[in-house]
Chain A
Amino acid sequence: MPETLPIDSVGLVTPQTLHFDEPLTLQCGKVLPQYDLTYETYGELNEDASNAILICHALSGHHHAAGYHSMNEKKPGWWDSCIGPGKPIDSARFFIVSLNNLGGCHGSTGPTSTNPLTNKPYGPDFPVMTVKDWVVSQVRLADKLGIQKWAAIIGGSLGGMQALQWSIDYPERLGHAAVIASTSKLTAQNIAFNEVARKAITSDPAFHEGRYYEHNTIPKKGLMLARMVGHITYLSDEAMGEKFGRDMRNKAFKFGYDVEFEVESYLNYQGERFSESFDANTYLLMTRALDYFDPAKEFNGHLEDALKKALCKFMVISFSTDWRFAPERSEMLVNDLVKADKHVCYTEIDTPHGHDAFLIPTPRYMAVFNAYMDRVAKEVC
């Protein structure tokens, strides 16, 4: 909880929700008859609406990317390190929009929302969303906000995939795409980890085939396990070693199976906290959206053909110790961007922080991010 707001914070922010009545036909063939999108904005939209930036969130993210909801909030938004006055995504120059994606559990319509057909929560009946579907919903949000063309669309991890999909599906509606710690498709190993997470949730007896709301319970243990596995993949061996090493909670072994090592305690704590604030059905949906993402699929596996349509400029950033979406994944994307003759800047940031590095304001990352966003600002402000 801040006593006073830091000067480089966007300050106190209030989420907003827009209702959409126009049915949304999804890739799976189902139709969402109506839906809400919850979002936050930071900064001011300029007169010609040219300075708008869209922030796309990752697996467990949401619309609250920067600032504080109240003076009592313990932590600022999830990307406060990069969004705010004087930061790379500068709220003094840009009008920044950050939304909660459909299928989420923080305000936008998702599995926890009431299904108008049954007057019960959607639960497992909520359609499986894809990155492509999200982009369509984000286009409608842009229309309502009066934004014809985003100065830039920026995202890390799953967020970067949305930026990439935008560049292919709506080429004339963005100037830049920043694809950070991301990939153009998951590897078998990525999908395998997602499957372990899903299995942890669906095999929890409290899951009740996804209808746990009706049983007044949540698959807490399963969600906790899912998060613990996921969390390991967000950190690097190096970062974990630095943070915990083999530190123990007590000096001597207890020769039992309760928490002994600090790393166990940390993972349990993270899992526990997450399981209380996140919806299990949303977790399933988000991991599936990750698995399905592959914009090259419609182009016989040739990403460069998919990217030929893109008109924006790209910034691709990877992190040396990210083994979830390793630098090689970004380099493959960059190679396809080059083959497609696109403007692209690429750098690999040397950092010990693993996949999570995209959230951590290390000096070199900030220098590159600032330099790129400064260019974007000069084009539109």
Chain B
Amino acid sequence: MRADLKIIEQWIKPNSRVLDVGCGDGTLLHHLQENKQVSGYGLEISSSNITSCIEKGVNVLEQNVDKKGLSNFEDQRFDSVVMTQALQALRQPDVMLDEMLRLGKECIITFPNFAYWRTRSYLMRKGRMPISKALPYTWYNTPNIHLCTFKDFEALCYQKNIHILNRTVVDKEHQRRWFINMWPNMLGEIAIYRVTR
């Protein structure tokens, strides 16, 4: 399993109810069902991913949250709402954050850090929109329309009175490195946040 999913797993309580927004091929939910007896649903739009989820026995619902939001779910319906690597691709990430916290007691969110030093240096040296393994698109075809930095995200949380319970900063292989924590906004590539209201 992807290293970031392993980190997320530590923050999910056994027998809890989980909503995985953009659940991909269902790996995380499947793992949590098998090992932590969680119940829950995954939301997905890719047809091949939906089929993979069904094969795994994951409760997958086809739902385009960017278009339809999450209004079909009741308040505080889940213990954890998870969104991995999707926040930056949404039209209204701030509204989504509120919505996720309306449905769940806690949210676990991962996103790429636009202030990573290689990204900064790319922009500074070349004067062009950074392209990297984590951000492989050009400016005109990127789905990542709302990129932010760790500082930006934390500022939004502060403004919205959202408490950050945990933050793990990792490199692009989702590995924790001792030096990253010295200057996370410069040295971290991907952050995994656990937040609550």
Give bound CA distance, A367 to B53, whole Å: 12
Q: Is the CB of A344 within 8 A of B59?
A: yes
Q: Is the CB of A372 within 8 A of B61?
A: no
Q: Is the CB of B54 within 8 A of A371?
A: yes
Q: Is the CB of A335 within 8 A of B55?
A: no
From A331, A341, A343, contact of B72 by CB (8 A): A331
Q: List 20 A-B contacts (CB under 8 A).
A: A335-B72, A338-B61, A338-B73, A341-B39, A344-B61, A345-B50, A345-B54, A345-B58, A345-B59, A345-B61, A346-B60, A347-B62, A367-B47, A367-B51, A368-B47, A368-B50, A371-B51, A371-B54, A374-B55, A375-B55
Q: Is the CB of A375 within 8 A of B73?
A: no
> Mask for A358-381, Cβ within 8 A of B = 1, else 0?
000000100110011011000000
Q: Which of B53, B60, B61, B73 has the most CB of A within 10 A?
A: B61
Q: Is the CB of A345 within 8 A of B72?
A: no
Give residues of chain B (36-54) contacting chain A, Cβ–Cβ below 8 Å: 39, 41, 47, 50-51, 53-54
With A345-B53, A375-B55 in contact, do A339 and B74 touch (Cβ < 8 Å)?
A: yes
Q: Is the CB of A343 within 8 A of B74?
A: no
Q: Is the CB of B50 within 8 A of A347?
A: yes
| CB nearest to A315 among chain B residues | B54
Q: In the complex, what residues of A have CB within 8 A of residue B14's CB?
A: none
Interface size class of A (residues with CB under 8 A): 20 to 34
Closest 4 CB pairs of A and B: A371-B54, A347-B62, A346-B61, A335-B72
Give residues of chain B (56-111) contacting chain A, Cβ–Cβ below 8 Å: 57-62, 72-74
Q: In the complex, what residues of A have CB within 8 A of residue B55's CB?
A: 371, 374-375
Q: Which of A344, A345, A348, A372 has the most CB of B within 10 A?
A: A345
Give residues of chain A (335-356) contacting chain B, Cβ–Cβ below 8 Å: 335, 338-339, 341, 343-348
* Interface assignment of A334: CB less than 8 Å from any CB of chain B: yes
Q: Is the CB of A343 within 8 A of B47?
A: no
Give bound CA distance, A334 to B41, whole Å: 11
Q: In the complex, what residues of A have CB within 8 A of residue B59's CB?
A: 343-345
With A338-B41, A339-B74 in contact, do A347 and B47 touch (Cβ < 8 Å)?
A: yes
> Mask for A277-321, Cβ within 8 A of B = 1, else 0?
000000000000000000000000000000000000001000000
